[in-house]
């Protein structure tokens, strides 16, 4: 795990049923505000300019990274959308993130917000290309995929194999950090998986970020029907229903769940 200050390193774990993704959701999935880096008036002005630039430039390529200002007031920023969503949906998500982030982290120059289909961050320190797994939010289905021990073991094998392919694909040259795959677990249940690294991340760092997420799945969501990990450098998720685009034709026949969340915060 990347080394960061102890006040900044934390693990936020949510136990939830996962609803269908909606980039227009009013509430973000997660946020990270760093109280160790307060803003100044000049920094706040540059943050506003940077967020405007991210909104204008990110949707067309689903990614944009830039900086605004100079010297101590210089601000670095990044916006990343899931590459399977449309540019219009990306624009809506980034707009929501840019509008909410300054109020979610008021007066803080290091801030991040996650929605299901986009991620936006800014900082007064350059972070482009650097692996960052110092903070993670997990969303975990509260139901096991099976209560049968033999089926649970087979599920772990199938998931491990699927995630290995996802990791290899996402970190491959030309993938733009995205991988989507699926496999049959039973004749009636398909396992879907997606991983995406921020596009500034080198291939090796991308593979390391996904590997960190996958290694934590058995710890925090063993044999659960779904799990997703939101890191600053990558987004990794699996479900037993289709959640990425284009949707499978069987989407309406697959299970959905009610909403139940139990937060658990763990600090090292």
Co-location of 188 and 215 in the same domain: yes
Let me know if residue 225 belongs to a domain: yes
One domain for residues 145 and 248: yes
List, in sequence order, every beta strand (DSSP E) within the chain: 10-16, 30-33, 63-68, 75-81, 111-114, 118-123, 135-140, 178-186, 189-197, 227-231, 234-239, 261-266
Range of the domain at 16: 11-123
- The token pair that represents 16 in the structure block: 């939830």
Last residue of a domain, one of 59, 89, 123: 123
Q: Are 220 and 118 contained in the same domain?
A: no
pLDDT in tens, 118-160: 999 999 999 999 999 999 999 999 899 999 999 999 999 999 9
* pLDDT tens-digit map of 29-47: 999 999 999 999 999 999 9
Whether residues 84 and 149 fall in one domain: no
Domains in the chain, number: 2
Instruction: Say if residue 119 is in the same domain as residue 147.
Output: no
- Domain edge (last residue) among 76, 93, 123: 123
Instruction: Give yes or no: residues 143 and 96 share one domain.
Output: no
pLDDT band at 64 (very low <50, low <70, confident <90, very high): very high
Domain presence at residue 1: no
* Shared domain check, 148 and 240: yes
Total count of residues recorded for the chain:
268
The string of pLDDT tens digits covering residues 166-212 is 999 999 988 999 999 999 999 999 999 999 999 999 999 999 999 99
pTM equals: 0.84
Domain co-membership, 24 together with 117? yes
Looking up residue 21, the CATH number of its domain turns out to be: 3.30.430.20
Is there a domain that residue 267 lies in?
A: no
Instruction: Indicate whether 245 belongs to any domain.
Output: yes
DSSP code string of 142-176: SSBS-S-HHHHHHHHHHHHHHHHHHHHHHTSTTST
Do 39 and 146 share a structural domain?
no
Asked if residue 114 and residue 143 are part of one domain, the reply reads: no
Residues 166, 210: Cα–Cα separation, whole Å: 9
Query: Residue 263 domain-assigned?
Result: no
Rounded distance between C-alpha atoms, residue 202 and residue 90, angstroms: 23
């Amino acid at each position: 795990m990347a080394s960061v200050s102890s006040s900044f390193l934390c693990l936020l774990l949510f136990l939830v049923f996962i609803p269908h993704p909606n980039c227009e959701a009013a509430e973000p999935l997660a946020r990270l505000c760093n109280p160790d880096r307060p803003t100044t008036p000049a920094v706040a002005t540059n943050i506003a300019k940077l967020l405007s630039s991210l909104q204008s430039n990110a949707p067309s390529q689903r990614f944009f990274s830039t900086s605004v200002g100079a010297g101590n007031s210089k601000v670095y920023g990044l916006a990343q959308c899931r590459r399977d969503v449309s540019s219009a949906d990306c624009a809506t998500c980034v707009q929501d993130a840019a509008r909410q982030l300054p109020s979610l982290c008021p007066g803080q120059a290091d801030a991040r917000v996650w929605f299901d289909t986009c991620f936006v961050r800014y900082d007064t320190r350059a972070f482009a290309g650097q692996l960052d797994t110092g903070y993670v939010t997990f969303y975990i289905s509260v139901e096991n995929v099976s209560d049968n021990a033999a089926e649970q073991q087979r599920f772990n094998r199938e998931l491990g194999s699927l995630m290995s392919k996802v990791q290899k694909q996402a970190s491959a040259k030309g993938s733009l950090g995205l991988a989507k795959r699926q496999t049959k677990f039973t004749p009636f249940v398909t396992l879907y998986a997606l991983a995406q690294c921020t596009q500034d991340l080198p291939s090796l760092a991308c593979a390391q970020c996904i590997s960190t997420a996958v290694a934590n799945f058995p710890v925090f969501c063993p044999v659960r029907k779904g799990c997703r990990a939101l890191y600053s450098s990558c987004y990794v998720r699996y479900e037993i229903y289709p959640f990425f685009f284009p949707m499978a034709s069987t989407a309406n026949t697959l299970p959905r769940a009610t909403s139940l969340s139990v937060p658990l915060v763990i600090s090292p």
